Amino acid sequence: VLFIVSSGVLLHGPPGCGKTLIAKATAREAGTRFINLDVSILTDKWYGESQKLAAAVFTLAVKLQPCTIFIDEIDSFLRTRNSHDHEVTAMMKAQFMSLWDGLITESTCTVIVMGATNRPQDLDRAILRRMPAAFHIGMPNVTQRRQILRLILESEPTAEDVDLNRMSKMTENFSGSDLRELCRNASVYRVRDYMRVSNAKKPEGDIISTDTLSDDDEFHDALRPITMEDLVISVNKMKESKVRTGSLFMTPLDMD
């Protein structure tokens, strides 16, 4: 019995840090099929249909095994039960956990349930018990941020003054998703410069648009490289936005 591998894995941490990407990469490395379960399909207005849909998911996973069932934002579906839960919701949760237990008790079953959440404290304790392998996916450190920025910008022309070491230090508490958005915003500035310069050269009233270029490659080649100034302006604007929205960054939660 002690040799039976756990069939539940929980990835928790702040948004934008690659939990879904890690789940997909893990399934690919393990050579398993991947079911990205949209929990909205399990909610049906007809009585009993939600339980049937949940059973169908697990039946499909068993037929496809080895298989990984991934549930993003699992807390929205399997949050702590209370007396205010709708009867249908309570029955669906019970059915889901019962089917999950069937995987755990079957020693030859190679189906893994992986969940991702930003709020592990909202998960039902019964779910946490079924997911003993819990991993905190935190914000990237300065070295990781530099590597992420390098990967994002490697396919784009950059000016010689771009200093990724400086940028990685300026972007503390930025997630991988934030870094991609930062670079995207920085790239927009060169598009604006191109449009402004091009329109200045045109006769009055004749406005140029990106449609005048024959294809995406021609348009991309016409743009100037991304500069350090573009990146600095972008990061400062994102920091201002985070302050205004009161962005809070999660700390590792003790799952014991």
If asked whether residues 118 and 163 sit together in one domain, one would say no
Give the pLDDT score at 48.
67
If asked whether residues 125 and 176 sit together in one domain, one would say no
Where residue 250 falls among pLDDT bands split at 50, 70, 90?
A: very low
Percent residues over pLDDT 70 in the chain: 77
Give one DSSP letter per residue of 25-89, joined into a string: HHHHHHT-EEEEE-GGGG--SSTTHHHHHHHHHHHHHHHH-SEEEEEETGGGTSBPP-TTS-HHH
If asked whether residues 71 and 92 sit together in one domain, one would say yes
d(CA 19, CA 15) in angstroms, rounded, equals 8
Last residue of a domain, one of 116, 136, 156: 136
Which residues, listed in sequence order, are joined to residue 68 by a DSSP beta bridge? 34, 112
Give the pLDDT score at 54.
84
Q: Considering only 68-77, 94-103, 207-216, which range has the smallest mean pLDDT?
A: 207-216
If asked whether residues 37 and 96 sit together in one domain, one would say yes
> Is 103 domain-assigned?
yes
Here the CATH number for the domain that contains residue 39 is: 3.40.50.300
CA distances from 99 to 7, 91, 170, 194 (A): 12, 12, 47, 57
> Is 256 domain-assigned?
no
Last residue of a domain, one of 118, 136, 154: 136
What is the domain range of residue 110? 8-136
If asked whether residues 51 and 114 sit together in one domain, one would say yes
Residue 77 or 231, more confident: 231
Here the CATH number for the domain that contains residue 210 is: 1.10.8.60
If asked whether residues 16 and 85 sit together in one domain, one would say yes
If asked whether residues 126 and 216 sit together in one domain, one would say no
pLDDT in tens, 176-214: 999 999 999 999 988 888 777 766 666 655 554 555 554
217 has pLDDT over 60: no
| Whole-prediction pTM | 0.75
